[in-house]
Copies of this chain bind each other. A is one copy, B any other.
Amino acid sequence: MSLRHAILVLLQDQEASGYDLAREFANSIGLVWNATHQQIYLELGKLNDQRMVNFRHVPQEGKPDKKLYSITEEGRQELIRWLRKPAGPARIRDAFMVKVAGGELADTQTLINELELLAKQRRERLATFEALAKKLDEQGREQNLFSYLTVRRGILDQRAWLQWAEEVRQSLHTDLANASAT
């Protein structure tokens, strides 16, 4: 696992609410990750019980009050401990790839439609990440080195997927053409 460690990494830079974290998970680290708010709130609760984070109440006008969490010294120690031990292999879970693998049973047109939808989402993400990378680069890459590298990971991942999608798209179209020729 390591949702807890991902949260600690994000809190290292700045204090944040559960809601903030959920959004950040959709940007930097979460390019590639994903975590729902329920999971984050739960994990923040546990981290708080274990004294790895603490929070202060911030009343807001117009919006609900929020809890701003910060990392504690104990949290930082835990992070350092975790950083020292080897990371497990990366895991991917790509349902669409499984569909392609089972392509014989699938309806080709349905697959194509889904492919286009997913590709559109990926292209949007790619644009967001490229804009972010550019911004970080202009601000001075060295100051933001680790954020910059994280965003690069996201960019390369989107590009690789899109390249694959293009291959799949062409194969599926050929497949359709052959089927209608019969």
Interface residues in chain A, defined as those with a beta carbon under 8 Å from any beta carbon in chain B: 2, 5-6, 8-9, 12, 28-29, 32-34, 76, 79-80, 83-84, 86-107, 110, 114, 117-118, 121, 145-147, 149-150, 152-153, 156-157, 159-161, 163-164, 167-168, 171, 175
Contacts and interface: CB of A to CB of B under 8 A. Distances in A.
Contacts of A89: 34, 118, 121
B105 A95 contact: no
Contact of A110 (B84, B94, B97): B84
A5 B105 CA distance: 12
Contacts of A104: 12, 146
A80 B167 CA distance: 23
A87 B76 contact: no
Chain A at the B interface: SS class? helix
A103 to B, nearest CB: 4
